[in-house]
Amino acid sequence: MNELPLEIQPKLLRLVEEKRGERLGGTVAFEVYARVIASTDTGIEERVRSGSFRRDLYHRLNVLPLVVPPLRSRRSDILPLARTFLREAAGRLNRPTPVLTGRAAAALQAHAWPGNVRELRHILERAILSTDGDRIDVEDLPLEVLDPQAYLGPGQASRPTLEGSSANTSSSSCGKRAGTRRGRPRSWASAQGAVGKA
């Protein structure tokens, strides 16, 4: 709602107050029976004070305000949401749902989540696309989620790089999966126990 143009706001106000509206490009009004749920990701009161959001529309919509805390303030929701997003993404891809290892779960819970729930969903969709295994481990997560010193373990202060791997190692890893995981040593993918089942 904080981005609703000022010229559109009278139409929404009419819809809410009179329960009448017009189709896009139309001139004939018709009755509308709907429950309006409006949301904003920033404080809209400043727009009301500056005059860029109608005060009467604000009060008409602000009947039952619900404040949803950011994800970083409700960390107990991170893993249940993560498992739900993994299950949904796996279903769309027609793949088994991977489980989160202990290290991956710890990294998710420690992240600040500036992008909120949407960031969590996108990161897990990226992770499930980047692995062909049955679990999501810490190295399957993007760098911005990780604190390498805390989650990669002793002696693993940074990720392996392409420069540090030979072409022979990369090609052999494609044909022999038993000892490697996408060209990285199995010790890299070792889990401290899977966290729950999706």
The per-residue pLDDT for range 60-89, each reduced to its tens digit, is: 998 888 888 889 899 999 999 999 999 999
pLDDT at position 114, please?
Answer: 87
Are residues 98 and 123 located together in one domain of the fold? yes
On whether residue 1 sits in a domain, the answer given is no
Question: In the chain, what percentage of residues exceed pLDDT 70?
Answer: 74
179 and 102 together in one domain: yes
Task: Read off the pLDDT of residues 34-52 as tens digits, 9 standing for 90 and up.
Answer: 888 888 877 788 889 989 9
Residue ranges making up the domain that contains 35? 9-61
Residue 4 forms part of a structural domain:
no
Instruction: Supply the pLDDT for residue 170.
Output: 38
Which of the two residues, 124 and 154, has the higher pLDDT score?
A: 124
Number of independent structural domains in the chain: 2
CB 90 within 8 A of CB 97: yes
**Residues 88, 169: one domain?**
yes
CA distance 70 to 113: 8
Residue 66 lies in a domain: no
Could you identify the residue written with the tokens 């494609």? 174
pLDDT of residue 187: 33
Contacts of 49 (CB under 8 A, 6+ apart): none
pLDDT of residue 153: 47
The C-alpha atoms of residue 40 and residue 133 are separated, in whole angstroms, by 38
- Whether residue 151 has pLDDT greater than 60: no
176 and 78, same structural domain? Answer: yes
* Per-residue model confidence as pLDDT tens digits over 17-31: 888 888 777 788 888
Are 81 and 158 part of one and the same domain? yes
What does the pLDDT read at residue 68? 85
Tell me, yes or no, whether 2 lies in a domain.
Answer: no
Looking at the fold, whether 48 and 99 belong to one and the same domain comes out as no
Task: Classify burial at 154, counting beta carbons within 10 Å of its beta carbon; exposed 0-12, middle 13-18, buried 19 or more.
Answer: exposed
* Residues 179 and 90 occupy one common structural domain: yes
In the predicted model, what is the mean pLDDT of the chain?
76
Contact yes or no for 20/30 (Cβ under 8 A)? yes
Q: Does residue 108 have a pLDDT over 90?
A: yes
Mean pLDDT of 116-120: 92
